[in-house]
Amino acid sequence: MDFIDSHAHLHFPAFSADGAEVLQRARDNGISLITVGTKFATSMSGIDFAEQHDGVWCTIGLHPGHVHDHNFVDENEETHDKPMPEREFDEARYKSLVSHPKVVAIGEFGLDYSRIPNGMDVEVFKNDQRNVARQQLQFATKHNKPVVIHCRGGATADVTGAHDDMRTLIAEEIGRGGIERRGVIHCFTGTIDDAAKYADLGFLISITGIVTFGKSLAAAVREIPLEQMMIETDCPYLSPVPLRGKRNEPANVVLVAQAIADVKGVSLAEVARVTTENARQLFRLS
Ligand SMILES: [Zn+2]
Ligand SMILES: [Zn+2]
């Protein structure tokens, strides 16, 4: 069986000590992968990593979490004590990376309304994020790449609507004749209704280990057609049960596939075949 981990961060510092071993474990399980950039520095380092390894492709983009100042440093991702936010998507800089043959998509970018910096006006915050997302949708159009979207709704009732806002931005860009190659909503945690609306826009969704955490995502996964689905680890984050809380790695994408097979009542081989074909087509992997 072949699997594609459609969204990993194997080039992050979390794997600096043993990345080659982790990659070997993935290969032993028939897994190829996309390693995803989150800012300019990790877009560059992702290309470096993909360049060195067969069966590894990469993406470039600016994650919504790096648009504003934030008070925490994710040591899995960044080695600086005080990383600087990028604030704007600097097209000229990213353009220098986009033609690399290993770069298969633009992202991850999108909207994350779950962590608003203290004291920041909510509307200003959301507007900044929408602008940076719009810039990257247009960049993807210009360079004829699919997009990898990160979209997370608000943690509080007054900051909801990330999926609605994201679909508005996507529909606007499609309305301009853009993003012909469409894309994926990664780490999908929305409802069946959300998935159907994304399907209407021609978008895939990708499922992480969250499908093993409880009943709500599993219920949606049961109804969403496999033909709209990819699988991912989002490693080093989101280890599936029974490894929850440990560092995640691409080999564990098999556990995600198995969980999908279980809730849908289909074979693991069927999940592997369809999700691999979906990833090959979206990212044009050879
Ligand atoms: Zn993400
Ligand atoms: Zn990610």
Domain 3-283 has CATH 3.20.20.140: yes
Instruction: Please give the pLDDT value at position 150.
Output: 98
In whole angstroms, give the CA distance from residue 31 to residue 25. Answer: 9
End-to-end CA separation in angstroms for the chain: 17
86 Cα distance to chain centroid: 19
38 alpha carbon to ligand 1 midpoint, in Å?
8
188 alpha carbon to ligand 1 midpoint, in Å?
9
Instruction: Please give the pLDDT value at position 68.
Output: 86
Instruction: Please give the pLDDT value at position 71.
Output: 61
CB 258 within 8 Å of CB 210: no
Instruction: Please give the pLDDT value at position 88.
Output: 87
Q: Which of 266, 174, 178, 179 is nearest to 229 (CA)?
A: 266
Q: Going by DSSP bridges, is the β-strand pair 3-8/147-152 parallel, antiparallel, or unpaired?
A: unpaired
Q: What is the dihedral of CA 143, 146, 150, 153, to 10 degrees?
A: 110
Query: pTM for the complete prediction?
Result: 0.95
In whole angstroms, give the CA distance from residue 216 to residue 196. Answer: 16
99 alpha carbon to ligand 2 midpoint, in Å?
22
In whole angstroms, give the CA distance from residue 112 to residue 85. Answer: 15
Q: Which of 32, 101, 23, 104 is nearest to 61 (CA)?
A: 104
CB 63 within 8 Å of CB 39: yes
Instruction: Please give the pLDDT value at position 118.
Output: 83
110 alpha carbon to ligand 1 midpoint, in Å?
9
Regions of the chain where pLDDT drops below 50: none
In whole angstroms, give the CA distance from residue 138 to residue 103. Answer: 17
Instruction: Please give the pLDDT value at position 154.
Output: 65
54 alpha carbon to ligand 2 midpoint, in Å?
21
